[in-house]
Amino acid sequence: MVAFPAPASSRSLAARLAVAARPKHQFRCLECDTPFQSVEDRAEFCCAGHRKAWNNRRAIRGAQLYDLVMAMRFERGMAVKLAIGWALICRLASAYRDADNALRAGRRSWRKPQTAIADIPLAYGREGDGR
Ligand SMILES: [Zn+2]
């Protein structure tokens, strides 16, 4: 009689052994700069916690920029009154970069441009991005 479902450890044993046999590559963590190894061709973080910390920073900064850009585009009168424009957005980006330089030895805090642009659909329908 076969137990169902099979325990996770036995279900993926062959796959885990195949992964473990792959050659390891050297990387440095974008969040903490610690050297680490991975069997992946591209890896950027030494652990899930550092991937989350890095992405949380992006999410917070992105939300700040999003609100400014949307106000600049769709609440033009208030944006002008509050001096929300490209100069403010560029100053904010410079402040983020200054923090990266001071606190994270200048490590990149944004995704590579080719990755960022590849994730944006070329056209949205009337439902926008669906959210
Ligand atoms: Zn790390």
Q: What is the mean pLDDT of residues 50-62?
A: 98
- For residue 28, the CA-to-ligand 1 centroid distance in Å is 8
Mean pLDDT of all residues in the chain? 90
Tokens 């208030």 -> residue = 78
Q: What is the pLDDT of residues 64-118, one digit of tens each?
A: 999 999 999 999 999 999 999 999 999 999 999 999 999 999 999 999 999 888 8
- For residue 97, the CA-to-ligand 1 centroid distance in Å is 19
- Cβ atoms within 10 Å of 84's Cβ, excluding its own: 19
* pLDDT for the residue numbered 123: 74
| CB burial of residue 74 (10 Å; 0-12, 13-18, 19+) | exposed
- For residue 13, the CA-to-ligand 1 centroid distance in Å is 27
pTM: 0.79
- The pLDDT-based confidence of 27 (bands split at 50, 70, 90) is very high
Q: What does the alpha-carbon distance between residue 47 and residue 40 come to, in Å, rounded to a whole number? A: 13
* pLDDT for the residue numbered 1: 47
- For residue 100, the CA-to-ligand 1 centroid distance in Å is 15
- The pLDDT-based confidence of 51 (bands split at 50, 70, 90) is very high
- For residue 108, the CA-to-ligand 1 centroid distance in Å is 13
As beta bridge partners, residue 28 has: 35
- For residue 114, the CA-to-ligand 1 centroid distance in Å is 23
- For residue 111, the CA-to-ligand 1 centroid distance in Å is 16
* pLDDT for the residue numbered 15: 87
Stronger pLDDT, 9 or 14, i.e. the higher one:
14
- For residue 27, the CA-to-ligand 1 centroid distance in Å is 10
